[in-house]
Chain A
């Protein structure tokens, strides 16, 4: 069955550094991959989508890569700020059912001043 893995350990970095989060998946080849941000007590919020034919996508300080050979996506936040502290989730469409998404468990990022 399809599986998504994100590092369950929190990532702690200093303000101004680049944060890199990893999303690995197995057992299928998704047409796209998404990243969401979730703050405590709130629902996830969509950040970026990258398609299988795109190697890289950028939005302001965010950058996502998608390596379909490695079955991996990397999510980068450059010049990180304490306000970037949150849990970041990756999501993939369910095989054969593009209207459904499965989510990784998320990685918590803490940016320290």
Chain B
């Protein structure tokens, strides 16, 4: 997954603890996204960013916050993890292409287990 790195790749935590997932890109793309993927639901957008300090909510944003203080880093924070947040989290980046088309490049994913 050239140009985009997620960390940690695997994490096990307990209910009620805070968790931060990091997405780092070297492509200097403007747009960054956090999705979660669960069986039967596919990819669902949590939050996205359209520039430094510019973020917006996706369809499943409750219980999550994000921050983007630099172009290359997009952090996803679970303030108090719950078992329902056990999932695989994918970061994606994009640069808006011709005609407004937006093609995403995904990271390798971060598997989070909340016990």
From B41, B58, B102, contact of A98 by CB (8 A):
B102
Q: What is the size, in residues, of chain B's interface with A at 8 Å between Cβ atoms?
A: 29
In the complex, are the beta carbons of A43 and B40 less than 8 A apart?
no
Q: Which residues of B contact A100 (CB under 8 A)?
A: 33, 45, 48, 58, 102
The docked-state distance in angstroms from the alpha carbon of A42 to that of B110 is 10
Q: Which of B55-88 contact A (CB under 8 A)?
A: 58-59
Within 8 A of A (CB), among B86-115: 90, 92, 94, 96, 99-109
Chain A 74-95 residues near chain B, CB threshold 8 A: 89, 91, 93
In the bound assembly, the distance between CA atoms of A93 and B59 in angstroms comes to: 13
Does A10 reach chain B (CB closer than 8 Å)? Answer: no
Residues in A neighbouring B99, C-beta threshold 8 A: 31-32, 51
Assess the B42–A51 pair: CB atoms within 8 A.
no
- Using a CB–CB distance below 8 Å, which chain B residues touch chain A? 1, 31, 33, 35, 40-45, 48, 50, 58-59, 90, 92, 94, 96, 99-109
